[in-house]
Amino acid sequence: MHSLPIQGVVEASSWIMPWLDMAATAVFALSGALAAASMRKTLITFMFFAAVTGVGGGTMRDVLIGAPVFWMHRSAPITVCLASALAAWFTPRRIWPAHAIEWLDGVGLAAYSVFGAAKALEWGIPPLPAAIMGVVTASMGGIFRDMLAGMPSIVLRPELYVTAAACAAGAYVTLVGAGVDRGMAMSIAFLIGLGLRGAAIQCNLSLPQYQR
């Protein structure tokens, strides 16, 4: 049986976390809808891609930590996904930057890395598995999107991706363990993840590849 959320959660995190969750869901969903747009699919496909990308990682997280699957008990996450799909559908493709999917995915990656780790900690998951849950939350939506679109998985590309998620989630867990205010820890960890992913997009920053 899983423990209830741990005591001592500061007020800052109580209002930051829902907004972080919704923002990450929206940008991930929009990246999924734009992937459908690049393939010139129907509105229904836009909505499907947006929903799978937006809630896929969080669904996997909740199943693994034993929490109620978040979008099954409130309508807001799916509503945000469908709204993102509609926004992409009614927006001309020419106004989106060339790397819109990558940047939206990067924002979602950083936000969901932090939110996933935070939720895992609140459900009594130890620090290291909690950080891994942050990576799972952040990565799985993009993996599902790429699989559906028949594109090479973003996780397999050489530039930093999972590494950025791991650094953000790890930073959050470490800062909270050191006694840093959770709201401040979220902000710092988010900026770390977004900075690394942004550098990867702009400068093709990557880890050394196996050469032997």
For 206, list phi and psi in degrees, rounded to 5.
Answer: -150, 165
Q: What residues form DSSP beta bridges with 159?
A: 206
Residue 8 has pLDDT above 60, yes or no: no
Instruction: Output 82-86 pairs: Cβ under 8 A, ≥24 positions apart.
Output: 82/47, 82/50, 82/51, 83/26, 84/26, 84/29, 84/30, 84/32, 84/33, 84/50, 84/54, 85/29, 85/32, 85/33, 85/36, 85/43, 85/46, 85/47, 85/49, 85/50, 85/51, 86/43, 86/46, 86/47
The pLDDT confidence band at residue 92, using thresholds 50, 70 and 90, is confident
Name which of 8-17, 30-39, 96-105, 176-185 the model is least confident about. Answer: 8-17
Asked whether residue 3 is domain-assigned, the answer is no
The two tokens of residue 165 are 């998620």
pLDDT digits (tens, 9 = 90+) for 52-91: 999 999 999 999 999 999 899 889 999 999 999 999 999 8
Asked whether residue 2 is domain-assigned, the answer is no
Asked whether residue 165 is domain-assigned, the answer is yes
Asked whether residue 5 is domain-assigned, the answer is no
Asked whether residue 209 is domain-assigned, the answer is no
**Model pTM score:** 0.82
Report the alpha-carbon distance of residue 19 to residue 24 in Å, rounded: 8
pLDDT digits (tens, 9 = 90+) for 95-140: 777 677 788 888 889 988 999 999 999 999 999 999 999 999 999 9
Asked whether residue 22 is domain-assigned, the answer is yes
Report the alpha-carbon distance of residue 23 to residue 190 in Å, rounded: 12
Distances (CA, A) of 177 to 121, 174, 182: 10, 5, 10
For the chain, the domain total comes to 1
The pLDDT confidence band at residue 6, using thresholds 50, 70 and 90, is very low
Instruction: Give me the domain span that covers residue 129.
Output: 11-203
The pLDDT confidence band at residue 42, using thresholds 50, 70 and 90, is very high
Report the alpha-carbon distance of residue 209 to residue 192 in Å, rounded: 23
Asked whether residue 90 is domain-assigned, the answer is yes
Asked whether residue 18 is domain-assigned, the answer is yes
